[in-house]
Structure 1
Amino acid sequence: MTSLFTPFALRSLTIPNRIWMASMCQYSAAPEGEAVGAPTDWHFTHLAARATGGTGLIITEATAVSPEGRISPYDLGIWNDTQVAAFQRITAFLKGQGVVPGIQLAHAGRKASTERTWVDRGRPISPDEQYGWTPVGPSALAFGEKSTTPRELTQDQIQEIVQQFAEAARRALATGFQVAEIHGAHGYLIHQFLSPYSNHRTDEYGGSFENRTRFALEVVDAVRAVWPEELPVFFRISATDWVDENPEDARSGWTADDTVQFAKELQARGVDLLDVSTGGNVPDAKIVAGPGYQVPFAERVRVETDLPVAAVGMITEPAQAEAVVASGRADAVLLGRELLRNPYWPRQAAAALDGEVATPIQYHRA
């Protein structure tokens, strides 16, 4: 059997293969009313299609731990029981197909209160507009020129958000999710605290590496404390802000060296796998992209620490994905846009590589 189609065990959980679905926002939840933030028929169909397509692990889109933690008013959330009930239908179906359901717990911080990506290119929604609100962040520094300047969080408010992550994890467990992924990437709130580019605080949550990582580690501790010992916790990270790689950019940001150091801290706190992406915190950073361009960052974490990693970023061909896993550069691949284009990519990859994925019984023919 090829490496891509071998099971992968984390704690007591066994994921049937190494082809996983990355978190991708759909901007399709109700923005108000009793069903605000709850998954709809669209979300069910979207995730169910990838489950019948052979994906081993499916991670939901960024799911907010509070209303103000949504990046748009149309995001999913898991801060109330209505959302839990709507998610249960999805987790039950995924498990019924032999797929591991995972949830990405998120807070958008200063990037919050934006339109859907297909409406004015996801422009910021001001607090004076319908569905808009004032975002929060580690510092009163707007994400972009047209973004609302966020309120700088007090230390008490930081602790409230830590508890919101814990409560969201409790609800996620009751919903039937088996993997909890903490979103610390793409310029969301945790990433904003990690990076000196966006964190200008002078208290114990800013300045030094130890201080800038404090909030993230407190969230990890809070989630791990309520998540069962037998189930894994993932952490999604942006391995670099893409400013230190550019000799023409004099700004300071989060770096690949920081990621390796931080990975060791995460592992010590009970994180089981690092989902390694890049960017999202510096709007005008120069990103050097190409096929598999983020894989080297995942590989470095895997080589320099004992922490398992998943690789992302323009992985589109079965042979390419197989090479990433077989060579030991990553333990799994997370597909995003490629699975949007082709929900049955895992099934087709299995045919191309002489692998095997589970087939729904309804598709069997004598």
Structure 2
Amino acid sequence: MSAPASALFSPYSLGDLRLANRIVIPPMCQYSADRGNATDWHRIHLGNLALSGAGLLIIEATAVEAIGRISPADLGLWSDDNAAALAGVLESIRRYSAMPVAVQLAHAGRKASSHVPWEGGQLIPLVDGGWETAAPSGLAYAPGERAPLTLDAAGLRRIREAFVAATRRAAHIGLDAVEVHGAHGYLLHEFLSPLANQRDDAYGGSLENRLRFPLEVFDAVRAAFPAGKPVGMRISATDWVEGGWDLEQSVVLAEALKARGCDFIHVSTGGLSPLQKITPGPGYQLPFAERIRAETGLPTIAVGLITEAEQAEAIVATGQADLVGVARAMLYEPRWPWHAAARLGARVDAAPQFWRCQPRGQADLFSGARIGQR
């Protein structure tokens, strides 16, 4: 009797985009760009991940304007030069991999103008090459940091238009999907959370008002990206701070996104406040994704210390989430999907150059593999 089919390695569709399995490589910042342009690091790094056998690769947080970068070394899509550099990387990937590639479009808000993590990650002083940041309200992220500029109507319009321009560049270079970054304490999350948004206009105060700008950005991105190609959103489902953004509000946001044609929601947590209290553990963010999926039916990507094949399999098999994001574990082991397939008795796509590496006794691990030797 054959083994039961793996849920993790079953196909899935987001809009018109068909994924070979339910494994997603989430955006992971590399802080290796040159004035927003992708470099050889991106070609090597993303090319490696594109050969992993996952169902979808999402490129790291990609700034829609220069002041929206987390660090000076962030990837961008605010210019045609940025688009041309990323297009070259995408061309290299597609020469050898059929894996769909998405991009996360982002604006760092008050958390912009920071050193790269291995240089401390703190806010860069203006005299040392930092820049003025922008946010819903003039509230610094941490004590002792300079406050951001409060966005006025012209600033809001500029950022919406920047998201649209970046989306059009993403479509022009052939990216398969867009994820709008509304998580981790960056600009759109700052609008959502009452801890960062203390405006007294139509974009602050009530939940309806705090949702307004993130939803306007989503609508603008959705309208600018080709119909049928998926557009989703990454959110932090809670600030982990009393009085902040929480799961109940996240469900309301997810319902509003679903009504606007959102194709998926990518659920993580935290990042808005240094006061957050988190106790990480395997699958610690999973209950948030599970609740949002159960209440809204919106296709959901779960993340959060998901490192084992059996753990990921159970998440999909029991309906806790539709897709599983494997991030740091994928950096540590870029062939994670191969090992997961071997453990679950499934098959996975691999480039023919790798077919001969199948372990003895698992000669059917790679889909379509045909080995001849002279």
Which contiguous aligned blocks of 4+ residues in structure 1 show a shift greater than 6 angstroms?
Answer: none
Question: Does residue 270 of structure 2 align to residue 279 of structure 1?
Answer: yes
> What amino acid sits opposite 1:4 in the alignment?
L
Displacement of 1:173 in angstroms is 0.7
Instruction: Identify the range of structure 1 (301-310 vs 356-365) with the bigger mean alpha-carbon deviation.
Output: 356-365
Q: 1:28 aligns with which of 26, 32, 39?
A: 32
Give me the whole-angstrom Cα distance separating, in 1, the residues matched to 2:57 and 2:126. Answer: 34
Displacement of 1:81 in angstroms is 1.2
Partner of 1:86: 85
Give me the whole-angstrom Cα distance separating, in 1, the residues matched to 2:44 and 2:143. Answer: 37
Partner of 1:33: none
- Cα contact 1:98–1:358 (8 A) shared by 2: no
Question: Does residue 260 of structure 2 align to residue 224 of structure 1?
Answer: no
Summarize deviations over 1:162-214 as a string: whole Å, max 9, x none: 11101100001111111100000000000000000000100111000011010
Q: 1:144 aligns with which of 122, 142, 145?
A: 142
Q: 1:260 aligns with which of 215, 228, 251?
A: 251
Q: Percent identity?
A: 49
Partner of 1:209: 207
Give me the whole-angstrom Cα distance separating, in 1, the residues matched to 2:33 and 2:46. Answer: 14
> What amino acid sits opposite 1:2 in the alignment?
S
- Cα contact 1:197–1:253 (8 A) shared by 2: yes
Give me the whole-angstrom Cα distance separating, in 2, the residues matched to 1:301 and 1:178. Answer: 25
Displacement of 1:55 in angstroms is 1.6
Displacement of 1:330 in angstroms is 0.3
Question: Does residue 280 of structure 2 align to residue 289 of structure 1?
Answer: yes
Displacement of 1:219 in angstroms is 0.2
- Cα contact 1:64–1:77 (8 A) shared by 2: yes
Displacement of 1:123 in angstroms is 1.2
Q: 2:174 aligns with which of 157, 172, 176?
A: 176
Displacement of 1:354 in angstroms is 1.0
- Cα contact 1:59–1:103 (8 A) shared by 2: yes
Partner of 1:165: 163
Partner-residue secondary structure (3-state), 2:126: coil
Displacement of 1:150 in angstroms is 0.2
Partner of 1:247: none
Displacement of 1:93 in angstroms is 3.8
Question: Does residue 117 of structure 2 align to residue 117 of structure 1?
Answer: yes
Who wins on radius of gyration, i.e. which is larger? 2
How large is the Cα RMSD of the aligned pairs?
A: 1.0
Give me the whole-angstrom Cα distance separating, in 2, the residues matched to 1:268 and 1:37. Answer: 33
> What amino acid sits opposite 1:110 in the alignment?
R
Distance change (3 Å), C-alpha of 1:20 and 1:94: farther
Give me the whole-angstrom Cα distance separating, in 1, the residues matched to 2:6 and 2:193. Answer: 38
Partner of 1:191: 189
Question: Does residue 264 of structure 2 align to residue 270 of structure 1?
Answer: no
Instruction: Identify the range of structure 1 (197-206 vs 146-155) with the bigger mean alpha-carbon deviation.
Output: 146-155
Summarize deviations over 1:310-361 as a string: whole Å, max 9, x none: 0000000000010111110000111111111010001111111111111102
> What amino acid sits opposite 2:127 in the alignment?
D
Displacement of 1:90 in angstroms is 2.5
Partner of 1:101: 101
Displacement of 1:284 in angstroms is 1.8
Give me the whole-angstrom Cα distance separating, in 2, the residues matched to 1:301 and 1:209. Answer: 17
- Cα contact 2:43–2:93 (8 A) shared by 1: no
Give me the whole-angstrom Cα distance separating, in 2, the residues matched to 1:336 and 1:310. Answer: 12
Partner-residue secondary structure (3-state), 2:124: coil
Tell me how many residue pairs correspond in the alignment: 352
Displacement of 1:282 in angstroms is 1.1
Which segments of 5 or more consecutive residues in structure 1 lack a partner in the other structure? 31-35, 245-251
TM-score normalised over the length of structure 1: 0.94
Summarize deviations over 1:290-326 as a string: whole Å, max 9, x none: 1000011000011001211000000000000101111
